[in-house]
Structure 1
Amino acid sequence: MKRILIVEDNKTLAKLLAKKIELSLKYEVDIAYKLSEAKLFLKKYTYFMTLLDINLPDAPNGEIVDYVLSKGNRVIVLSANIDKDFRKQMLAKNIIDYVNKGGVDDINYIIQTLQRLEKNQKHKVLLVDDSMVFRKTMKNMLENLLYKVITVAHGEEALGMITAHPDLSLVITDYNMPVMNGLELTAEIRKEYTKTQLCIIAISSNNDEEVNALFLKQGANDYIKKPFSKEEFSCRINNSIEALENIQYITNHASRDFLTGLYNRRYFFDNMYEYIEDTKTSGEKFAVAMVDIDNFKQLNDTHGHDVGDKVIVCISEILRTNTSYRDIVARFGGEEFCMVLKNINKYSASDILERVRQEVEGFNFNLDANTEIRLTVSMGVSIHEDEDSLDETINQADMQLHSAKQNGKNQVLFN
C-alpha cells in the first residue's frame, strides 16, 4: 500500500488531513510534527508523496523542503504564507504544488491533486521541441506530475513516435521547429486521431495572435504561450488529460456491457456495418459465431442470479482471451454472445472456436468448497459471404446455434 507523509505542526489540521486521505485514497499516512521526526520516517519508509508545512518548530524557514527534495521525494508544500515573492521562490524549487492552508476547500484540493497524480501514472506524453534546454525543463515538470514522458526534437520524428506508441494520451508541441513545425504536426496527427482519442497542446512564444487561432482550428485542444508559470502549465496539462478521461469514460460506458465489460449490441452493429463496407474493398473474410451458455436457466433457478452473473463474467473472459485485438466479442443479452473473427477462413475459425469450447468445458467453476459447477457452451458459426448482409450472416449463425442446442449442446456447428 502506498504511503503519504504529512509534516505539519498543527496537530488538528494534520490529523484531519490524514483521516481524509485514508478515507478517500486508502493510503497509509504517517504524521510528523517537526523536521527531526520527519527524518526518522524518511529513513524507514518510501513515500508516494510528502505534504510539508514550511514553518516548523525546528525548521521555521522552509528548510524541510530542501531536505526532503534532496532525498528524492515528491513534495507538495502546505503554507499559510500568501506572500507572492515567497510563493514564487518555493515554486522555483522542484515541488509539485504550493497549497494554501485556508480551510476545508484546500484539504479537498489536496485530495483531488493526489487522485490526479495517481491517475497520471497511466498516461504517456510525447513532448516535441527543438530546444534541448526547454525540452529538459518541460520533461522534468511532466515527470514531477508522474506522467511517462517521451521527447523528440521535431515534428517528423514525432510522427514516428506516435506510430510506435499508440497508447499516447497527449502530444505537447512547440510551433517553430525544423523539418516539420508544430502546426504541420498538428494537422498530420488530426488526420488519424480525433480530439477525443489524443490531446494536443501547442506551445509558442510567437506574438502573432493568429497562430493561436490556427492551432485551435487545426485541432489543438489547448494553446500555452511562453513564458508560462509552473502552475499554469500543470493546470492546463492536467485539465486536458482529465477532459480526455471523462470523454473516454462516457464513450466506454456507451459501448460496453455493464456486467462483463464486453462490447454491447449497439457498438457491435455500429462497428460491423463500417467494417463490412471496408471488406468490400479489401476482400477480407470473417466469421460470425453466436455463443450460448448451455442450461443457463436451470443454473439460475438452482443457484440464483448472482451465481448466474458470475458465470457470465467467467465465460466472457474466456471468449475475450481467445480472440485477437481486431476481433469483436459482444454480449447480446442474457447468456448470449456474438463473436466476430476477422480476416479468417473456416478452418482457422473452427480451430479457435473449438479451443474456446474445450476451455469452457474444462473450466472449474467452484461455487464453494464442496460444490463445483460444470459449464459448457454451444456455438453456431457462419462465414460471411459478399452477397450476404450482416443480418443474414447472423441469422445463419443463429440457425446453426439452434441446431447445436437440438443436437445435444456443447458443440460448434458451421453453416
Structure 2
Amino acid sequence: MINFISSFIILLFILFTCITIQILTLYFYKRKTLAILEELFSIKPSLDLDKTLPQILAVIKKLFKPERCSIMLVDDTDKMLKIKIGDNISTTAMRKIKLNIDEGIAGKSLTLGQPVVVKDISKSKFYNRFFSSEKPVKKEKLIVLPLKIDDKNLGVVNLHFKPNTRFPLSYLDKMLLKLLSDYISRMLDGCYKYFDVVSDSMTKMYNHNYILKRLEEEIELAEKFQSKLSLIMIDIDHFKQINDKYGHQVGDKVILTISRIIKNTTRFSDIAGRYGGEEFCIILPNTKLTDAINVAQRLKNNISSEKILLQDKQQISVTCSFGVKEYEIGDTVEEFINKTDKLLYQAKLLGRDRICY
C-alpha cells in the first residue's frame, strides 16, 4: 500500500512538472510571439522597397541577433535570387552571388515553404561548391526563411549564427518563424505592387516621375544633414542609328542590357531609373563627386565590354556618355538635373563614350 501511494505521489509530481513546463513553454512562446509582432508593427508603413528592406533587416537583427544576415529577392529580369540587402556581408558577395530559385538551401526552403536549418555550412556540399572559390567557408549555423505569397516565390532571409548557438527548431519555433516570414512576404508583396506603379514597364527600373520625387527627398536630406549627394545622367550613344540599322527590337534589347548593367553595378542605396527614351539617371546618396565618378567609370567599362547578341548571331557593342555632378547647397531639383544634363551634353559634344564632371 505504501509503495502504491509513493508511486502515485511520484506520478503526480512528474505530471505536475510536465504541465508546469508546458505552461511555462507556452508563456515563453506567447511573450516571444508578442515581441515579434511588436517589432514587426514598429516598421514604418511604406510601399517603397528601398525604405522597407532596411527596416525589416533591423528587426531581424534585433529579434535573432545573428552573426550576419541577408535578404535575397527574386530578380524580375532573370528570375534569379540575388542579395538585395545584408549585414556583415561583403559588397563583392552581394554583387556576385545569384542563385536559381530551385538551387541550394534557399531553393529547398522555397520548395518546402518552411524554414531550413543547416547545422554547419562548412560541411555543406552546396556552400563549398559555390563559395569556396573566394575564401574557405566559415563554420556557422544557417537558418533560411522562405518569402512567398501563395505559389509566388519572392525570396529568402538568411540568418548565420555561431556554431555553438543553440537554436532548436521545435514545432512552436517553426510557427513563430512562419509568422515572421509570412508577415515579411506580405509587406514585400505590397512593395512590388507599388513598384509596378512607379517603375518603367520595360526595364523595371524607376520611372521619370519617381526619380524626380526621390531626388527632391534626397536633396532635403542632404541639406538637413549636410551630407554629400551626387547624380549621374547616362545617354546611349548613337541610339537612333542602332534603331534605324537593326530595328526597334534590337534597340529595346540594348536598353534592357544597359538597365541590367546599371542594376548590377550600383549599390542598394542608389536610386537608378530610366529618365526617358535612351537616357538613364542614378541618384547616389551620401556620395561625393570622386566616388560618383568611380561608379560612372565602372558603368562605362562594363557597358562598353558587353557583347549584345542579335538573332543572326551577330554581336554588337554600344557605348554611353555620362554627366556626373555633386549637389550644391541651394540648388533646386530642376537646377541639379540641368547642371548634370549639361555635363552629359558636353560629353556628347566632345565625341561621346566619355564622362564629364
In the alignment of these two chains, the number of paired residues is 206
Within 2, Cα distance between the matches of 1:361 and 1:327?
A: 22
SS at match of 1:249: helix
Matched, 1:264 2:207: yes
| Bigger relative contact order, structure 1 or 2 (CA pairs below 8 A, ≥6 apart) | 2
Report what 1:309 is aligned to.
252
| Correspondence list, 1:187-226, <5 A | none
Matched letter for residue 272 of structure 1: L
Code of the residue aligned with 2:266 in structure 1: it is T
Partner AA of 2:289 in structure 1: K
- Matched-pair contact (CA < 8 Å) for 2:234–2:281: yes
Tell me if the contact between 2:289 and 2:324 (Cα under 8 Å) persists in the aligned partners: no
Q: After superposition, what is the alpha-carbon deviation per residue over 1:81-137, rounded to whole angstroms, capped at 9, x for unaligned?
A: xxxxxxxxxxxxxxxxxxxxxxxxxxxxxxxxx982564874799xxxxxxxxx944
Kindly tell me: are residues 398 and 244 of structure 1, through their superposed partners in 2, closer, same or farther at Cα, counting changes over 3 Å? same
SS at match of 1:299: helix
Query: CA separation in 2, counterparts of 1:389 and 1:121?
Result: 38
Q: Would the aligned equivalents of 1:381 and 1:396 in 2 still touch at CA under 8 Å?
A: no
Is 1:139 aligned to 2:82, yes or no?
no
Residue number in structure 2 paired with 1:399:
342
Q: CA offset at residue 316 of structure 1?
A: 1.0
Q: How far apart are the structure 1 equivalents of 2:155 and 2:224? A: 41
Q: Partners of 2:231 and 2:287 in 1: how far apart?
A: 11
Q: Does the C-alpha gap of structure 1 residues 347 and 307 become closer, same or farther in structure 2, counting only changes over 3 Å?
A: same
Matched residues, percent identical?
31
1:138–1:373 distance in 2 versus 1, CA, 3 Å: same
Select which of 191, 197, 204 maps to 1:254.
197
Q: Distance in 2 between matches of 1:262 and 1:347?
A: 25
Deviation, 1:281, is 2.2
Q: Deviations 1:275-297 (Å, cap 9, x if unpaired)?
A: 21111122111211111001111
The match for 1:319 is 262
The reply on whether 1:346 has 2:300 as its aligned counterpart is no
Q: Closer, same or farther in 2 for the Cα pair 1:245/1:289, shift >3 Å?
A: closer
Task: Point out 4+ residue stretches in structure 1 off by more than 6 angstroms.
Answer: none
Q: Are residues 1:300 and 2:300 paired? A: no
Q: 1:353 to 1:241 in 2, by over 3 A?
A: closer
Distance 1:120 1:312 in 2: 25
Q: TM-score normalized by structure 2?
A: 0.51
Three-state SS of the structure 2 residue aligned to 1:325 is coil
- Separation in 1, partners of 2:188, 2:264: 25
Q: Cα gap change, 1:391/1:368 in structure 2, threshold over 3 Å: closer, same or farther?
A: same
* One-letter amino acid matched to 1:323: T
Question: Does residue 365 of the first structure (1) align with residue 323 of the second (2)?
Answer: no
Q: Which amino acid aligns with 1:390?
A: V
SS in 2 for 1:379: strand
- Stretches of structure 1 lacking an aligned partner (at least 5 in a row): 1-45, 50-113, 126-134, 148-169, 172-236
Query: Within 5 Å, which residues of 2 pair with 1:8-19?
Result: none
Q: Distance in 2 between matches of 1:317 and 1:395?
A: 26
- Following superposition, the deviation at residue 248 of structure 1 comes to 2.3
Provide the aligned C-alpha RMSD in A: 3.2
d(CA) in 1 for partners of 2:273, 2:215: 11
1:161-200 alignment to 2 at 5 Å? Answer: 171=180
Distance 1:242 1:291 in 2: 34
Q: Which residue of 2 aligns with 1:412?
A: 355
The structure with more radius of gyration:
1
2:79 aligns with none
